[in-house]
Amino acid sequence: MTKHEMREAAFIILYQMELTGQTAEEIAETSNEAFELPVNKAVLRLAQSVWEKKDELDAAIGKYSPSRAVARISKVDLAILRIAAYELMFDGNNVPPKVAINEAIELSKAYAQQNDKAFINGVLNSLFKDIQTK
């Protein structure tokens, strides 16, 4: 499983967690049966780590979202932003910042509305610039 596939599976799990309130494990089990979603320990670890930090991630996303409050960001965009923000803020030793941002853009191309790509890119670039200056 590639890192891109891991992020995509984690994105799907996080999106479903937001909608259903189920745990990552519950979603992984049903998604694997219904959709043949490939899930391994790394995918579950990423999804769980992002979910555990979601309040902190949402605060950072909200800080750099000039046009939308976090509550008004689509669930798809929010799941994408949370994964990338997590990688920027907490996993920088393992994921280069440019990769985290690029992967978010790729997920947005596949799952988000066309005009959301620029929004996601803007939020993440602003977050990254702030992290760099600290």
- Kindly indicate the confidence band of residue 111, based on its pLDDT and cuts at 50, 70 and 90: very high
Do 67 and 126 meet the contact criterion of CB atoms below 8 Å apart? no
Residue 34 has what pLDDT? Answer: 60
Q: Is pLDDT at 40 greater than 90 in this prediction? A: no
Q: Is pLDDT at 117 greater than 90 in this prediction? A: yes
Nearest to 14 by CA among 86, 65, 61, 83: 83
Question: Average per-residue pLDDT in the chain?
Answer: 91
* pLDDT-wise least confident of 47-56, 63-72, 121-130: 63-72
Q: Cα torsion for 85, 40, 33, 7, to the nearest 10°? A: 20
Give the pTM. Answer: 0.93
Q: Hey, which CATH number is domain 3-133, 1.10.8.590, 1.10.940.10, 1.10.645.10, 1.10.510.10?
A: 1.10.940.10
